[in-house]
């Protein structure tokens, strides 16, 4: 089961990375689609040695998806990826630029290994704000991902910054977007991410993000699901990050998450409150992976008495 859970969280990361971890909106209001589609355990979890790893995986999955220098290890391998844009932002820009004169977006493109996706919507030809719907039809090889995508995602741009040439107030909604990989792991994502950025001197200084997402996976007649309702604030100037909210493990229940020590250079300390309270610490071990040359981190979970109930090394 542990192996399948790792496959699950890896699949979620790939879905969000390939289809855009970013969306936005100034309001905290967010769709309830994720909440209504979640059918897992909603009771307060009792976090112990046997299930602490599930909650650690959830924290790691959503923290690593933040496109922020605060979460990147300062190593050459990761520095080279900093300029990459999320797919949805790229697709939206393409639609905006190709249809800038007539306000109506209607663009169909083939995917690298078969299938297609269609962009439709209405966009203001002056402000570049509007809504674009992306319909994936057996889209294979999306952004180099060895998987097939089906389903719908909707991007709403509320503000576009022409100096940065990108949206700075945007919502990305997932309507049962399905990713099926070559091994047959089927991941379904429902919900939305709202993101807004403060800009000063032609650079983003602070980004706020609200994520409410339900994710489920089926593989070899096994199934697993989770729900997250998270608020995050990224200080791009100080390279620090804070996250708070509620995370639901489909089997074990829910826990409230609060950042104690900001996420910075890959390390952090958070508290999980449920039937009991535990502290999750991720620290730099000072060692380096000889192959990737990236820093090696350890993750520990401590109970209220300070006893360690979980330990892993993330290399």
Phi, psi of 19 (to 5 degrees): -105, 5
Give the CA angle between residues 189, 197, 59 to the nearest 5°.
Answer: 40
Q: pLDDT band at 187, cuts 50/70/90? A: confident
- What pTM was computed for the model? 0.82
- Which carries the bigger pLDDT value, residue 58 or residue 69? 58
Q: How far apart are CA 204 and CA 153, in angstroms?
A: 25
- CA–CA dist 40, 161 (Å, integer): 40
State the Cα torsion 39-4-150-26 to the nearest 10°: 60
Q: What pLDDT does 132 receive? A: 86
d(CA 280, CA 265): 16
Q: State residue 225 phi and psi, 5-degree precision.
A: -150, 160
> pLDDT digit string (tens) for 11-62?
555 555 555 544 443 344 445 689 999 999 999 999 999 999 999 988 988 8
Residue 10 has pLDDT above 60, yes or no: no
Q: Is the pLDDT of residue 76 over 50?
A: no
Tell me the C-alpha distance between 228 and 54, whole Å. 13
Q: What is the number of domains present in the chain?
A: 1
Q: Is 17 exposed, middle or buried (0-12, 13-18, 19+ CB in 10 A)?
A: middle
User: What share of the chain has pLDDT > 90, as a percent?
Assistant: 39
Contact indicator for 249, 59 with CB cutoff of 8 Å: no
Query: Which among 117-126, 208-217, 266-275 has the top mean pLDDT?
Result: 266-275
- The three-class DSSP label of residue 152 is strand
pLDDT, tens digit, 9 for 90 and up, residues 200-249: 888 888 989 898 999 888 888 888 899 999 999 988 888 888 999 999 99
- CA separation for the pair 95, 89 (Å, rounded): 10
**Mean pLDDT of all residues in the chain?**
80
Q: What is the domain range of residue 190?
A: 2-314
């Amino acid at each position: 089961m542990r192996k399948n859970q790792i496959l699950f969280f890896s699949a979620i990361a790939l879905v969000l990375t390939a289809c855009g971890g970013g969306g936005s909106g100034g309001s905290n209001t967010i769709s309830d689609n994720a909440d209504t589609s979640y059918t897992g355990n909603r009771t307060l979890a009792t976090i112990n040695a046997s299930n602490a790893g599930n909650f650690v995986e959830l924290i790691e999955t959503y923290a690593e998806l933040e496109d922020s220098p605060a979460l990147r290890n300062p190593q050459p391998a990761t520095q080279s990826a900093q300029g990459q844009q999320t797919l949805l932002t790229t697709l939206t820009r393409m639609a905006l630029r190709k249809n800038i004169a007539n306000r109506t977006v209607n663009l169909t493109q083939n995917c690298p290994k078969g299938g297609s996706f269609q962009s439709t919507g209405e966009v203001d030809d002056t402000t570049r704000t509007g809504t674009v719907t992306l319909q994936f039809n057996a889209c294979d090889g999306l952004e180099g991902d060895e998987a097939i995508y089906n389903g719908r995602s909707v991007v709403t741009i509320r503000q576009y910054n022409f100096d940065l040439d990108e949206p700075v107030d945007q919502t990305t909604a997932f309507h049962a977007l399905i990713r099926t990989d070559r091994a047959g792991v089927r991941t379904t994502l429902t919900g939305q991410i709202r993101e807004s950025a403060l800009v000063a001197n032609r650079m983003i200084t602070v980004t706020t993000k609200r994520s409410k997402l339900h994710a489920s996976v089926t593989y070899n007649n096994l199934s697993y699901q989770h729900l997250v309702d998270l608020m995050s604030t990224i200080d791009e100037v100080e390279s620090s990050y804070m996250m708070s909210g509620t995370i639901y493990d489909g089997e074990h229940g829910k826990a409230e998450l609060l950042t104690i020590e900001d996420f910075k250079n890959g390390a952090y300390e958070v508290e999980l409150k449920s039937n009991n309270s535990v502290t999750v610490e991720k620290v730099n071990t000072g060692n380096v992976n000889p192959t990737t040359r990236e820093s090696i981190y350890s993750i520990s979970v401590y109970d209220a008495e300070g006893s360690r109930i979980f330990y892993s090394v993330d290399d």
